[in-house]
Structure 1
Amino acid sequence: MLKAISGTIAARIITTAMGLLVAVIAGHRLGATGLGTIGLIVLGITLVRLGMDLVGGSALVYLVPRVALGRLLRPCYLWAVIAAVAGYGIVELFALVPEGYAGPVAVLAFLQGVHAIHLSVLIGQQRIRANNLIAVVQALVLVAAFAFLARDPGADAHVFITASYLSIAVALVLSIAAMRRNVAVHAAPPVKVLRLLVRQGAYVQMANGMQLMNYRLAYWLIEKFQNTAALGIYTVANQLAEGAWLVPKSLAVVLYSKISNTEGMEGQRLLTLTFLKTSMAFATAVVAVLVLLPSSVFQWVFGPEVVGISPLIALLIPGILSMAASQAYSHFFSGTARNIHNVIGSGLGLVVTIAAGLTLIPVFGLEGAAITATLAYCINAVYQTIAFMRITGSSFMDLWPNGADGRRLRRMFGDQTIRRSEN
């Protein structure tokens, strides 16, 4: 487990750094407006991906140890094609991305969706290292290609599209090569695979869709009530603050894989509690560093047009810490096929996002967007905490760090060290 955790954290550090490098390059070469346009492109891709992951997605992680791979991949591939076509129509009809970008957004969403299917298979097979290596290679190719193409004095957001094509093509080839197609299942396979895929996928995507709105509805509201340049500034602040999720998300990937392959509620409960507290500790350390940095540092790094970052980060901190906890809860619910609680939590957050966003963003601008995000993240985490405690019988005292957590971590790491020395 130590190797999986450390490898995943290292991969997340690299991919997060590469994502920030893309923002740095865009800020200096394309300006705040270019940053905002790229933010809308990425949001459009993510939106199309939501429908695509309805059959497949993270539900695959739960099913891979239980169902032969061939029975899983065919419906996932077919649905990816259907969802990409439908997604293109929606994005074009409602003008959710800038003019001329709907086609590339749909194609990139399709390629990324197929790639995500393969990565879910790798996680379900507990091949965390392969998953991490592919993610790192993809991020490196994206940055290298974008940096090269953005040197053109007339460069705009289209160069990001081209760089994305190159990076996903490389990652897709690697993920195809990495999958193990003849792995014995260790649990009784469900009889109706497609029905289970859709049912679990529907819960997952309902939660993901509402969570996406919690994360990114503010982008469209800022674009509507402010402008694309203001959106570019907010995307940088948001990306920096969400860097605090680097370790929580890394741990969550490992947690999801372990819980999906762990029988017994007590083992799943203890795993989740240990990962929860570790995630919160790391997230707190990251936001403490960010809040101490002056805005001038961010302006120097991301370009002269990117101003006012520090106040936005300060307003986002409570929500960022809440979502660090939510990473552990969400993967507990997904890994134990209780995705309905992710749906409810995200739904509550979405209600807050809509009400607060429409009220605060027109009046307070970017600060209103940051407050909206914090309120939505907090209500989501509160619900998930209550649901987790009810299901597992945990108490509030179990959520606080104690000596048992340290012993569990040492035992996990110690067992990994022993196995590694024996090999």
Structure 2
Amino acid sequence: MKESIFKTFVSRFLILILNFGLVIYSTNMWGSSGKGVISIIIADLTIISFFANIFVGSSMSYFARKFRTEEILPFAYVWAILIGILIPVIFSFSRATEYFYFLVGLSVTSSLLTANINFFVGQQNIKLFNLYTVLQQVIHILFIIIIVYVIKFTSVNAYFVAQISCFTILFIISSFRITQSSDFKKISFSKGIGSKLLSYGWKTQLSAFLQFLNNRLSFYFLEYFKGIVSVGIFSVGIAFSEAVWTVSRSLSVVLYSDVINSKDSNDAIEKTKISVRISFLVTILFILIMLMIPAEWYAMIFGKDFRQTKEIVLLLSPGILAIAVSNVIGYYFAGVNKLRILNVKSMAGLIFTIISSFYIVPKWGMRGACIVNSASYCISSGVLFWRFYQITEFHIRDFILTKKEIAILVKKVVKTRR
């Protein structure tokens, strides 16, 4: 497991750098209003993905080795297409349709690719999981360069065209890999298997959707009370949060893959604690690095409108750390099919977010949104910590790497440099 964690950490660190590069480019290329549009569309895409992930998300990983490929992937593909079209149509009744076709394209292609990637996780093929998640960033950036500088299509729409193209190519390539070891002449739609996918999927996605609302409601409150420009500025701080979380989420995916394929509960708990302490220490390191950067540098890198980025990161940092650690514990509970606690923790944070945002965001704007988000993250994470340490003993060493683990990491770093 430690080798998989290390390789996943390296791949996520690369993604972290690429994410920052993409954020820097988009803010300088399209300004705070363009970044605001990207943030809102991606937020809509994330909402759609929660519905799509009922079949293409963790349920695909959970049942990857319990049923034949030909019995589960067809459900995922059909569902991805249906949801990818239906939800954007529903959205179009309540808002402008300028980006409707981009949203449909993003929804369908990203969901299809997600099904394949989560299938690899269930097969414990973490190598392919890491490869395709890194390629999503690399190819997206490559297509932006081609579209903007070769084709000379420079509007913010170039961002979405590049992303759709990226998802499409990676889906085709990953599908080819899957078909090599499958016989799709045996495709079947079993009512029993479909109901199991649905049952597991909606329970995990309910928690994920509630947590998303904790993460993203501030965007909509800011847009309503303060305008789209404030969303663009605030979104850069959130982008830093989510960039840091890529590390803990990656550790969580490795843990999840191990837990759903393990029959030893004590081993699963021990692996969870290893992931917790790595996530805790790495997140603190990244937060300190972000806070050491002068505010003027943020303005120089992202543009003059983004001078408040350091303050946003500072206000969000307690919540960033809390979520980074609780992500790991959340995946443990998902892996052992104890999903109720995930819904409870997300609901606790969401209730706080909704009630407090109506009072704090109109009064304090972006600062208020940061305070609400950070407090909500800490509340929801606290619920998970409480439940996890009800079933196991709490030790300070759960958050400190042992000498042996440090030696292993150093050895692997030296090895990779050679």
TM-score in terms of structure 1 length = 0.89
Give the aligned partner of residue 351 of structure 2.
Answer: 351
Give the aligned partner of residue 119 of structure 2.
Answer: 121
Give the aligned partner of residue 99 of structure 2.
Answer: 101
Q: Distance in 2 between matches of 1:388 and 1:407?
A: 25
Instruction: Specify the SS of the correspondent of 2:338.
Output: coil
Q: C-alpha displacement at 1:398, in angstroms?
A: 6.3
Instruction: Specify the SS of the correspondent of 2:55.
Output: coil
Q: Which amino acid aligns with 1:125?
A: Q
Give the aligned partner of residue 318 of structure 2.
Answer: 318
Q: C-alpha displacement at 1:207, in angstroms?
A: 0.8
| Native 8 Å contact 1:348 1:379 kept in 2 | yes
Distance of aligned partners of 1:290 and 1:139 in 2 relative to their CA distance in 1, 3 Å threshold: same
Does 2:198 correspond to 1:198? yes
Q: 1:334-373 maps to which residues of 2 (within 5 A)?
A: 334-373=334-373
| Native 8 Å contact 1:64 1:121 kept in 2 | yes
**Number of residue pairs aligned between Structure 1 and Structure 2:** 406
| Native 8 Å contact 1:59 1:334 kept in 2 | no
Does 2:165 correspond to 1:159? no
Q: Distance in 2 between matches of 1:218 and 1:269?
A: 34
Give the aligned partner of residue 73 of structure 1.
Answer: 73
Give the aligned partner of residue 169 of structure 1.
Answer: 168
Distance of aligned partners of 1:110 and 1:361 in 2 relative to their CA distance in 1, 3 Å threshold: same
Give the aligned partner of residue 129 of structure 2.
Answer: 131
Give the aligned partner of residue 238 of structure 1.
Answer: 238
Give the aligned partner of residue 406 of structure 1.
Answer: 402
Give the aligned partner of residue 186 of structure 2.
Answer: none
Distance of aligned partners of 1:320 and 1:84 in 2 relative to their CA distance in 1, 3 Å threshold: same
Cα shift readout 1:259-282 (whole Å, capped 9, x = no counterpart): 111112111111111111111011
Give the aligned partner of residue 226 of structure 2.
Answer: 226
Q: Distance in 2 between matches of 1:102 and 1:361?
A: 29
Percent identity, please. Answer: 20
Give the aligned partner of residue 208 of structure 1.
Answer: 208
Q: Distance in 1 between matches of 2:274 and 2:194?
A: 34
Unaligned runs of 5+ in 1: 184-189
Distance of aligned partners of 1:360 and 1:409 in 2 relative to their CA distance in 1, 3 Å threshold: same
Q: C-alpha displacement at 1:241, in angstroms?
A: 2.8
Q: Distance in 1 between matches of 2:333 and 2:90?
A: 30
Cα shift readout 1:309-328 (whole Å, capped 9, x = no counterpart): 11111110110011011111
Q: 1:239-254 maps to which residues of 2 (within 5 A)?
A: 239-254=239-254
Give the aligned partner of residue 185 of structure 2.
Answer: none
| Native 8 Å contact 2:16 2:244 kept in 1 | no
Q: Which amino acid aligns with 1:143?
A: I
Q: Which amino acid aligns with 2:171?
A: L
Does 2:53 correspond to 1:16? no
Q: Could you tell me which of 390, 394, 397 is aligned with 2:395?
A: 397
Q: Distance in 1 between matches of 2:174 and 2:121?
A: 12
| Root mean square deviation, CA, Å | 2.5
Unaligned runs of 5+ in 2: 183-189
Q: Distance in 1 between matches of 2:338 and 2:164?
A: 35
Q: Distance in 1 between matches of 2:335 and 2:362?
A: 39
Q: Distance in 1 between matches of 2:57 and 2:408?
A: 28
Q: Which amino acid aligns with 2:281?
A: A
Distance of aligned partners of 1:412 and 1:58 in 2 relative to their CA distance in 1, 3 Å threshold: farther
Q: C-alpha displacement at 1:204, in angstroms?
A: 1.0
Instruction: Specify the SS of the correspondent of 1:305.
Output: helix
Distance of aligned partners of 1:317 and 1:55 in 2 relative to their CA distance in 1, 3 Å threshold: same
Q: C-alpha displacement at 1:87, in angstroms?
A: 0.7
Give the aligned partner of residue 280 of structure 2.
Answer: 280
Of 340-349 and 82-91, deviating more is 82-91
Q: Distance in 1 between matches of 2:214 and 2:148?
A: 31
Q: Distance in 2 between matches of 1:19 and 1:311?
A: 20
Instruction: Specify the SS of the correspondent of 1:126.
Output: coil
Q: C-alpha displacement at 1:305, in angstroms?
A: 2.3
Q: Distance in 1 between matches of 2:180 and 2:168?
A: 21
Distance of aligned partners of 1:191 and 1:32 in 2 relative to their CA distance in 1, 3 Å threshold: closer
Q: C-alpha displacement at 1:34, in angstroms?
A: 0.5
Q: Distance in 1 between matches of 2:155 and 2:223?
A: 18
Cα shift readout 1:211-246 (whole Å, capped 9, x = no counterpart): 111111111111111111111111111111333223
Give the aligned partner of residue 111 of structure 1.
Answer: 109
Q: C-alpha displacement at 1:413, in angstroms?
A: 7.3
Q: Distance in 2 between matches of 1:298 and 1:13?
A: 20
Distance of aligned partners of 1:125 and 1:397 in 2 relative to their CA distance in 1, 3 Å threshold: same
